[in-house]
Amino acid sequence: MVIGIIGLGLIGGSFAKDLRGEPWTDRIIGVDNNSDHAKRARELGLVDELVELPQLMSEAEVILLAIPVDGIVALLPSLLDRVSEKQTVIDLGSTKRAVVEAVRGHARRSRYVAAHPMAGTENSGPDAALSGLFKGKVVLLCNLEDSAPDACRMALQIFHSVGLRFEFMPAEQHDRHAAYVSHLSHVVSYALSLAVQTEEKAGYAVPRLAGGGFASTVRLAKSQPEMWVPIFLLNADEVLPAIDSFLMEMHRFRDALAAQDPAGIRNLIATANQIRELLK
Amino acid sequence: MVIGIIGLGLIGGSFAKDLRGEPWTDRIIGVDNNSDHAKRARELGLVDELVELPQLMSEAEVILLAIPVDGIVALLPSLLDRVSEKQTVIDLGSTKRAVVEAVRGHARRSRYVAAHPMAGTENSGPDAALSGLFKGKVVLLCNLEDSAPDACRMALQIFHSVGLRFEFMPAEQHDRHAAYVSHLSHVVSYALSLAVQTEEKAGYAVPRLAGGGFASTVRLAKSQPEMWVPIFLLNADEVLPAIDSFLMEMHRFRDALAAQDPAGIRNLIATANQIRELLK
């Protein structure tokens, strides 16, 4: 079959790499608004052909939508306007409630599957695409009761073939969990980067002294605004309470330290250590 | 020569593994207050012999002090009471001001070298010891003007042999930089773990949904209180302002998000992204 990918960056490009080897993949065609990214994706062999959006919509049996979530919200309704009963559109965005709301009640809603593969890196663009990026990771599938059974099967076939494990939940629940296990980590990492850059202006300490611990904690601060500004804005209802919950814990820690309270600090650390049991 | 290691955990054990192969290493002897750790270090072959502290102090030419910083502050003066002009004591603690103050003016101060190898993992104990842990990392050497030239040479020989690169600075400056590039990351990671555990009580989301981004940001939250409570308490003067600087950035981010201000969020993220240039 013909696979159409809209957005040939880290996520779209990584799907292209992994789907390339499937016996049922006849051709992969793609679109990217960024002409440098489009050209580079073709050079890297991620797609067989760069096309315009109307051609992609007429030729592809399955369409993967791998662009920032504000773009998904804006584009998805018009894609569904053109989709046939034999095509499936799958979005791969990092928030889900705003996307499903954008097509609620659409005549072709059932041709659309809402998904979020929880995998990625801090890099972006076609050069960041990686074979095996999704292997063993989780894809959250949301509101499948609104998708046609054959569209669901198509999505599961695509995700299974790249090694993703399935979890199913309503879009609202997805957005709440994602705020805690993904979006909050990014806010925290950005703020850490900002604080360290402000205090270490001379640029001396970070390149010379920072070890693996700092690098690990600040890694997500390399993630680009094109993807992340829309995620935060569209999921602000969940991200703001997550930030507040985190700030409360920071203040508990700060208070215990300001009071030179060893037992208080020890209790906080010992509880924090329990993340070991949850993250094996 | 005979190398004595006090504290046979991650750091002491990793030094033992790497120093084992040097032609000038005749024997490695060790002490650990935790009898399980001591026994395990012997089983793993980290040390040739487990000894009591007086024997270690009489036999070892160089003594590596690899215990939590509160232990270093408490023990170092009495070690210097017993040290000869031919022996060198090197501490490997993560804060330096409190340690050098503990032996300021000591008759044998010159036999002591203050150092902090900026390497480690979130694990602890002899089983966490790793060959090559220090390769390419930085060791900060503090207040070397207070150490005898031959003691400095001994420290440089030890650190060079395990692949550490040298940086030199006063203990106060070390503690300030360490607050930003190491200690703050730990506080942030602990608070992230606490917030996520509080909000995800059922234990559902973290093991099933968390991807590599969350794992990276929360990794340091696995670090144990035995090491970290003393670091925070002894470096509170630097860690508290670092926390406050970080909290200010969190609030700037929160305010921009609460105001649904795309340009504001974009500016914060774009500035945070500059950590790419500092952390190559």
- When pLDDT is cut at 50, 70 and 90, the band that residue A125 belongs to is very high
The Cα-based distances of B42 to A71, A268, B7, B124, B138 in angstroms read 60, 33, 12, 16, 28
Q: Cβ of A233 and B257 within 8 Å?
A: yes
Give this prediction's pTM.
0.93
**What pLDDT shows up at residue A200?**
73
What's the Rg (C-alpha) of chain A?
Answer: 21
What mean pLDDT is reported for chain B?
A: 95
Residues in chain B closer than 8 A to A214 (CB atoms): 181-182, 185, 279
Q: Cβ of B273 and A167 within 8 Å?
A: no
Q: Is B234 helix (H, G, I), strand (E, B) or coil?
A: helix
With 90 as the cut, is the pLDDT of residue B213 above it? no
Query: CB count, 10 Å around CB of A183?
Result: 25
Residues in chain B closer than 8 A to A270 (CB atoms): 225
**CB pairs below 8 Å between A and B: how many?**
317
Q: How far apart are CA A247 and CA B248, in angstroms?
A: 11
Residues in chain B closer than 8 A to A163 (CB atoms): none
Residues in chain B closer than 8 A to A257 (CB atoms): 232-233, 236, 239-240, 243
Alpha helices in B85-235 (DSSP H): 97-102, 149-161, 171-178, 184-199, 205-209, 212-218, 225-234
Which percentage of chain A shows pLDDT scores above 90? 91
The answer as to CATH 3.40.50.720 being correct for domain B2-169 is yes
- Residue B211 CB partners (closer than 8 Å, separation 6+): A118, A119, A120, A137, A138, A181, A182
Q: What is the pairing mode between strands B27-31 and B2-6?
A: parallel
Same fold, A2-169 and A174-278: no
Q: Is B135 helix (H, G, I), strand (E, B) or coil?
A: coil
Which percentage of chain B shows pLDDT scores above 90? 92
Residue of A220, A116, A207 whose CA lies nearest to A169: A116
Residue of B104, B133, B211, B125 whose CA lies nearest to A184: B211
Q: Cβ of A181 and B233 within 8 Å?
A: no
Average pLDDT over residues A102-130: 96
The two three-digit tokens of residue A116, written as one number:
């979020």
Residues B113 and B147: beta-carbon distance below 8 Å: yes
Tens digit of each residue's pLDDT (9 = 90 or more) over B84-136: 999 999 999 999 999 999 999 999 999 999 999 999 898 999 999 999 999 99
- Residue B153 CB partners (closer than 8 Å, separation 6+): none
Q: What distance in Å separates residue A33's CA from the closest CA in chain B?
A: 20
Average pLDDT over residues A238-246: 97
State whether ipTM is beyond 0.90.
yes
CATH architecture of the domain formed by B174-278: Orthogonal Bundle (1.10)
Average pLDDT over residues B16-44: 97
The domain ranges of chain A are 2-169, 174-278
Which percentage of chain B shows pLDDT scores above 70? 99
Phi first, then psi, for residue A50 (nearest 5°) are: -90, 130
Residue of chain A whose alpha carbon sits nearest to that of B264: A229
Q: Cβ of A181 and B209 within 8 Å?
A: yes
